[in-house]
Amino acid sequence: MLAEKKNISRRLLILLILLLMCVSGFIISLKLGSLNLSIGQIYAALFKIARGPHYQIIFNIRLPRILVGACVGICLSLSGCLLQGIMRNPLAAPHLIGVSSGAGLAGVVILILYPGIYYLLPPVAFTGALVTTMLVYMIAWQEGINPSRLILAGVAVSSFLGAMITGVMIFFPDRVHSVIGFMVGGLAARTWKHLNIILPYTLIGFFLVNLTARRLNILLLGDETASSLGVHVERTRLFFIALSALLAGSAVSVVGLLGFVGLIVPHITRLIIGSDYRFLLPASALMGASLVMVCDTISRIALDPVEVPVGIIMALLGAPFFLYLLRNRMKVYDTES
Amino acid sequence: MILKAENLYLKYGKQPPVVKDVNLSLTQGEFMVLIGPNGSGKSTILKSLAGILKPFSGTVYLNEKPVHQYSKKALASSMAFLPQSPLVPEDFTVREIVSFGRNPHLKWSGRMTSRDWEIVDEAISRTRLTVFQNRRINSLSGGERQRAWLALALAQKPKVLLLDEPTTFLDICYQFEVLELIKNLNTTLSLSTVMVLHDINQAARYANTIAVVNQGRIDASGAPGNVVSTQLLADVFKIKVNIIKDKVYDCPFMIPLESLRK
């Protein structure tokens, strides 16, 4: 009993630390930028004590952008976590089920072929992501879904759509510039409007996912064992694929193809807190939110006044950090196989 | 009859049936062992008894009601199935794994009551895992791990236990430990059991009934003393054997002599 309690309190402590990380990431992002603000100025602006240029910067520029970043981090991390769990494949990530290529094609079509309706980008990209995932799922279906078949179908469909994306870009070289930001993923000029798009999915996703952590844990025992424990394996898998497509789709439709978060954050978190989904899911959400907020802050100040898209910063910092964790705590992965 | 299979035909996908016209019945508290050569369809039959593989024709009845009419959870509350090698997740203690056995009895929210935890504790102590209960399951030896899977099945509080080769990959000491535990659960809890085994002598020693599966059909079934014969083993397993009587356990004991597969 004692060891069990210790184990649980250790993981609760990690969650608490991640929460603190998330809050400090939030404050640092509010503080730093082309204009550094003091805690007092942030406080005054947030609680509407003083209205002035600082209030404008915080309320109209930084706050919505930071919140969008946090939501995107949460959505993509949860999505990756779900997919790695139900596919039992460490390489599973939102882009593998066609979310990125679907949203990417939609983005390219809107931004290059129909730039006049650029404001429709989020809903169209979202639809593209979901339709592609559905297509991948249907192609892979054969009296049930075999995870490897789903991943292979996802890879094939993604390459097909990838070719179309590249094709469109090659035929309109003069307009490529407008779409590059979307393909890398960035948070520049994201406003309350964008937050309104993504926030509902973030909240729904967060609650649903944490309610169903137990089922994900049981699926870790294999399809047959899960089934004999009363879990509808196919139905559960479809539910989680749909949920992760919704989460990732809402994220990429707002910030573009920020692919890296969904793959790496679940792994980093797993190395720290273990693979029990009751802890892994909330921890990944917090980790994803902090990582996106911090990387976005760096992207704003690193080469000020030029802004580096957050996707680039994320890959440049995240990949080495992940490799460091992997080499130091590789044991976790040795037992898999 | 607690469990009954009638005219069972089973197949995977569009392939020809691997199990043809199988009839089985299990009475309350009976211990049945399925033996047969590799690929004969033993595991397939077991999966369909468990309700995991839907018969292409024929019906499996649990307590006189077809298994496909049970809800998934109701079925899992009355019948537990252990596949040959469940995946072993990391980061879960034995106690956490065993608590998954309560899943079919829980509401959607998944709250475990103190009664649920009592049942988990009982399953752990019946399988003598109390000292291991807070160890991670992937740190256990093969025999201990197999006991943990049994505890998981017991936590479901099943009436019927289905086991697919629970002794494969275990050394002889663990094999007997696991088999004795299963036999003990079978007698003390009157837990009706169907088990697939490879070892004919172990089957003869522990089973009330042996069913011999050969090429998707049941060639013979009955008490071990009536089923295990030189002729049957030559026909089904293509081996020449000598059969002696184990006087201590009152069951046949076969000594293999040579392969008849030429």
A-chain residues near B152 (CB < 8 A) = 229
Best CA proximity match to A257, nearest among A135, A89, A93, A117:
A93
Record: contact A3-B134, CB cut-off 8 A:
yes
Nearest 10 degrees: CA dihedral of A290, A293, A296, A297? -100
Q: How far is A286 from chain B (nearest CA, A)?
A: 20
Give the tens place of pLDDT for each residue, A270-295. 888 988 999 999 999 999 999 999 99
Per the model's pLDDT, the better-predicted residue between A92 and A220 turns out to be A220
Q: For residue A268, what are the contacts with CB-CB under 8 A and spacing of at least 6?
A: A287, A318, A321, A322, A325
Of A214, A222, A336, the CB nearest to B86: A222
A-chain residues near B98 (CB < 8 A) = none
Of A3, A229, A232, the CB nearest to B101: A229
Is residue A142 pLDDT above 90, yes or no? no
Give residue limits of the domains in chain B: 3-88+159-259
A-chain residues near B101 (CB < 8 A) = 229
Mutate to test the interface with B, among A224, A278, A280, A333 (most CBs of B within 10 A): A224
Residue at A36 is within a domain: yes
B-chain residues near A218 (CB < 8 A) = 100, 103
pLDDT at position B21 is 93
Residue at A220 is within a domain: yes
Host domain of residue A217 = 18-334
Residue at A310 is within a domain: yes
Give the tens place of pLDDT for each residue, A235-253. 898 899 888 888 888 888 8
Q: Is B73 on the interface with A (CB under 8 A)?
A: yes
Q: Is A210 on the interface with B (CB under 8 A)?
A: no
pLDDT at position A336 is 42
Residue at A199 is within a domain: yes
Domains: count for chain A = 1
pLDDT at position A2 is 60
Q: How far is A113 from chain B (nearest CA, A)?
A: 45
B-chain residues near A88 (CB < 8 A) = 87
Token couple for A319: 């990949």
Give the tens place of pLDDT for each residue, B1-12. 899 999 999 998
Look at residue B242 and give its three-state secondary structure.
strand
pLDDT at position B199 is 93
Chain A nearest-CA residue for B82: A225
Q: What is the CATH number of the domain that holds A27?
A: 1.10.3470.10
Instruction: Please give the single-letter amino acid code of residue A204.
Output: I
A-chain residues near B100 (CB < 8 A) = 214, 217-218, 221, 229
Residue at A8 is within a domain: no
Q: Residue A337's pLDDT band (boundaries 50, 70, 90)?
A: very low
Give the tens place of pLDDT for each residue, B106-155. 987 778 899 999 999 999 999 999 999 999 998 998 889 999 999 999 99
pLDDT at position A335 is 46
Interface pTM (ipTM) of the complex?
0.90
Residue at A151 is within a domain: yes
pLDDT at position A290 is 94
Q: Is A334 on the interface with B (CB under 8 A)?
A: no
Render A251-308 in DSSP notation, one character per residue.
Answer: HHHHH----HHHHHHHHHHHHHH-S-HHHHHHHHHHHHHHHHHHHHHHHHHTTTTS--
Q: Which CATH class is domain B3-88+159-259?
A: alpha beta
Q: For residue A92, what are the contacts with CB-CB under 8 A and spacing of at least 6?
A: A80, A83, A84, A147, A151
Residue at A107 is within a domain: yes
pTM: 0.88
Residue at A3 is within a domain: no
Q: Is A174 on the interface with B (CB under 8 A)?
A: no
Of A211, A217, A275, the CB nearest to B100: A217
Mean pLDDT of chain A: 85
Question: Which stretches of chain B drop beneath a pLDDT of 70?
Answer: none
Give the tens place of pLDDT for each residue, A7-17. 788 899 999 99
Look at residue B255 and give its three-state secondary structure.
strand
